[in-house]
């Protein structure tokens, strides 16, 4: 498969995700896919997965945990069987109500017309902060020191 065909496959995958059509997206994934996000404490969908069923579980947990406010791939760069996608996203964490934004980089390997591997790089600190439970009363009506 040539580089333009690989980019086209990934644009279709991002479009399917944007429509919420995870079944179509999973149809573009190889049965033995490797799927990896940086491990973030307290964020249950992060870490390594292998195989379509584990990637389906990733998308299920992702949808339970956060809602995309904006998710936009901006640039697709292909060489041989690799495609690098640069983009930006804003997400709302359902458990905390916090939002976080940032740029991300996704690196894919395409084999046999399917997504064979995925690895994400992003600002894990922002995500960890947004998922951290807020302390009871923190910042809300706490007494402020008086200045004389």
Domain CATH code at residue 63: 3.10.450.50
**H or E element in which residue 129 lies:** helix 124-131
The strand order across the sheet containing 99-111 reads: 47-50, 29-37, 114-122, 99-111, 82-93, 66-79
CB 35 within 8 A of CB 50: yes
Position 100 pLDDT exceeds 90: yes
Residue 138 domain-assigned? no
Taking a C-beta distance cutoff of 8 angstroms, is the pair 102, 89 a contact?
yes
List, for residues 2-47, the tens digit of each pLDDT value.
Answer: 999 999 999 999 999 999 999 999 999 999 999 999 999 999 999 9
Question: What is the pTM (predicted TM-score) of this model?
Answer: 0.87
Domain hosting 93: range is 3-131
Structural domain includes residue 72: yes
Do 128 and 40 touch, CB atoms closer than 8 A? yes
């Amino acid at each position: 498969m040539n580089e333009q065909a690989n980019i086209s496959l990934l644009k279709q995958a991002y479009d399917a995700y944007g429509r919420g059509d995870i079944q179509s997206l999973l149809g573009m994934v190889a049965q033995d896919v490797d799927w990896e996000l940086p491990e973030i404490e307290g964020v249950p969908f992060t870490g390594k997965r292998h195989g379509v069923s584990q990637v389906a579980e990733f998308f299920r947990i992702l949808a339970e945990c956060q809602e995309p406010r904006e998710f936009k791939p901006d640039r697709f760069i292909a060489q041989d069987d690799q495609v690098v996608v640069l983009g930006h996203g804003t997400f709302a964490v359902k458990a905390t109500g916090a939002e976080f934004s940032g740029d991300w980089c996704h690196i894919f390997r395409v084999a046999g017309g399917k997504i064979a591997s995925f690895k994400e790089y992003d600002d894990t600190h922002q995500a960890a902060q947004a998922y951290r439970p807020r302390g009871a009363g923190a910042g809300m009506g706490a007494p402020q020191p008086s200045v004389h």
